[in-house]
Amino acid sequence: MPTPPSPPTLNAPDAEAWLQTPLGQYLLAREQAYIDKTVADIFGYNALQIGLPGIDLLRANRMPLRATVARAATANLRADSTELPITSASIDLVLLPHVLEFSDSPHQILREVERVLVPDGHVVVTCFNPMSLWGAWRTLTENAAYPWNGRFIHLMRLKDWLALLGFEVSGGAMGCYVPPCASEKWLNRFKFMEPAGDRWWPFSGAVSFLHAVKRVHGMRVITPRWGQQARSKRLVTVPHKQEDQLAARRRRCVK
């Protein structure tokens, strides 16, 4: 059996160029499947996709406004993800496809997402996982091309970041358990690792998907205890002995 080829050493200028490679297409197909299933039943008015403006990852969502945000000229809104020129509490859904691990300020991006989301708004995040075959290859190689030049984020760390901002995780998954092979032929040969990975090593997928909801703890309305009030307003019963004494006094007064 021939030795499988080594992982690709691309010098792609950006993420969208790398996603056109066989390995990028393999990743994109699994990400699109998860995102389609997750955002299809999220309702509202405004949805944002931050990053990858040339790929419509929100195609399955039915909100009236679906816009892309990036520095690229192809984005609907050219802006920095750390300083979104968007009104607070005005967005129902935000998608972050591999934005955090390629930013110097991932915490600030999440803070901006929390700010622009309405209460009970949704955020869907995809990140490369360091505890995977892809993460191992990134550690062993000095490749400076995308995606190996990113800071892969552990799933538990991402959950902690979201929890600190008041998000509640409502769903998640892992994907891409295959080695990062360059050719489509070898990727197809390793496809058997996808169902095996979900069953035997579920935390070692190359990419992690996370769906979280913004929770806002409002004021607690203190209602009166109607049962106690009703009992306090009841007429106090008078013992029979006291009733007899009162009746005797009335008779004496009459006489």
Residues 139-172: pLDDT tens digits? Answer: 888 777 899 989 999 999 999 999 999 999 999 9
The type of residue at 225 is R
Main-chain dihedrals φ then ψ at residue 214, nearest 5 degrees: -75, 120
Measured CA to CA, the distance from residue 93 to residue 30 in angstroms comes to 20
Mean pLDDT in residue range 94-116: 96
Rounded to the nearest integer, the mean pLDDT of the chain is: 83
More confident residue, 230 or 49: 49
pLDDT in tens, 194-241: 776 667 777 788 999 999 999 987 645 455 565 555 455 554 454 555
Residues contacting 190, CB < 8 A, separation 6+: 178, 179, 181
Provide the residue ranges of all domains of the chain, joining segments of one domain with +. Answer: 15-214
CA-nearest of 115, 127, 123 to 83 is 115
The structural architecture, per CATH, of the domain 15-214 is 3-Layer(aba) Sandwich (3.40)
Q: Compute the distance between CA of residue 118 and CA of residue 95 in angstroms, rounded to an integer.
A: 14
